[in-house]
Every structure is written in C-alpha cells, then in structure tokens.
Structure 1
Amino acid sequence: MRQIIAIAVLSLLVQLVFPWWSLAVVSFAICCWRSPGAGRAFVYGFVGVGIVWLLYALMIQLRTDGVFVGRMSELLFKTNGGVLPVLVTTLVSGLVGGLAGVAGFFVRQASGNQIANRIS
C-alpha cells in the first residue's frame, strides 16, 4: 500500500515538471527499490499510475463539462460518450506504470543475482 501511495504522489509531482513518460521512471525506481515480487510490482505500478491519470481525466471531464472528452471520444472512437476516453487513458497509463514496475523488480533481481555470483 505504501508503494502505491508513493508511486501516485511522486508521479503526480514529477509530471508537473517533466513529460508524461516520467511516471514510468518513478514506477521503475520505486519497484526496483522496494517490491516483494513481480506480480505485486505490476499491481503497484498499475494502480499507482492509473489512479493519478484517472483523476486527471476526471478533472478535465468536470472542468469542461464533458465537452473536451466528448469531442475526443467522437474523434477517436466515433461515439458520443465521455466514459471510453477516460477508461482508455486509465488503462494505458496503468499498463505503462505496471510494466515499468515489473522492469524495476527484474532489474533489482538481476543485479542481486550478479552480486551473489561475485561473492561466491
């Protein structure tokens, strides 16, 4: 739970200054530093980043009274609903965060194996 909150807060703050893909760096670093397994690393990254982008999308939806998201839905999906772009945004960002988290876990695991091989 701490990792999810850390990923969410740090990715929110980092994206204020850096590009959108900086969320992957945050998820990678936190899951590399502290993650018990590959499955949990994916879930931590997916949920942490997904929550942030879900809130971003809902904020845009509410600020524009659904006009912007509705137009994007018509442009991309040929529908007039505002739900589909919000769900796709959340899913794609969650996948980016989750895969970055798994990559961070595997990098830590591989570097740990390298250190163990040098010692023995």
Structure 2
Amino acid sequence: MKGFLALTLLILLATAAAQFFLPWWSITPLCLALAAWRGGTGGRTFLAGLLGAGLPWWLGAAWLNTHGAGLLAGRLATLLPLGGNGWLLVLVTGLVAGLVGGLAALAGAWVRQAVAPRPQPQQYLHNDA
C-alpha cells in the first residue's frame, strides 16, 4: 500500500507542476516514466495513474470554472453533447485526463515487467513411476 501511495503522490505532484509549463499530453510520458521507475502491479499502477493525473486536472478545471471561465466552459459544453453544462465538461475532462494517465502508468508497469521480470519459483518435475 505504501508503494501505491508514493506512486500516486509522485504522479500527482509531477503532473500538477507540468500543467503550468507543458502541453496537456505531457502527463503521458510523466506517468509512463514514473510507473516504470516505481510501478508495482498492473491494477494498482493504473489506479495510481488515474488518480495522480485526473485529480490535478479536475481540480484545476473546477477552480477555473468557478473563477471566471464558467461561461467559456458552458459554451464549449454546448458544442459537445453535454447540454451546455460546464460542470459536466469539467468532470468529463478530468476523467479523460485520468484515463490517459492510468493507461500510461499501466504501460510503464508493463515496460518494467518486460525489462526486469520477477523471478519465478522453481518447479521440479517428479517422476513417481
């Protein structure tokens, strides 16, 4: 559990800092690299990427929606099939960012497993005949 929380916090802090300076897709290489470095099993790594990348995106979008960009979000939501609901747009974009981060973290965990697989226990064949 400690590894999951550490990976989630690393991804959260890295993606939150990257959102200020880099394009939106920069969460993908960050999540992949951090999961390849510190990743664990597939499911927990995916969840760490989902939460670590989705929460800062969602919090930033929610803050912008409440502090002046709500009109723009509402207009953008009318272009999408969201009925003009800006808060629904905030939730959808947070989910998309979380899925991108989760899938990138899962890919990083798979890269780690492919490069340095865990040793399998020895199985001996017994011939009882």
TM range (shorter): 0.7 to 0.9
Query: How far has the Cα of 1:79 moved from its partner?
Result: 0.9
- SS in structure 2 at match of 1:79: coil
TM-score (norm 2): 0.82
Q: Structure 2 unaligned runs (5+)?
A: 120-129
Check whether the contact 2:58–2:90 (CA below 8 A) recurs between aligned residues. Answer: yes
| Greater helix proportion | 1
Query: How far has the Cα of 1:65 moved from its partner?
Result: 5.9
2:41 paired residue among 31, 34, 37: 37
> In structure 1, what residue type is equivalent to 2:56?
V
Query: How far has the Cα of 1:12 moved from its partner?
Result: 1.4
Indicate the structure (1 or 2) with the bigger Cα radius of gyration: 2
Matched, 1:57 2:61: yes
Runs of 4+ in 1 over 3 A off after TM superposition: none
Q: How many residues align?
A: 115
Which residues of 2 match residues 5-24 of structure 1 at below 5 A? 5-24=9-28
Q: Structure 1 unaligned runs (5+)?
A: none
TM-score (norm 1): 0.87
- SS in structure 2 at match of 1:36: coil
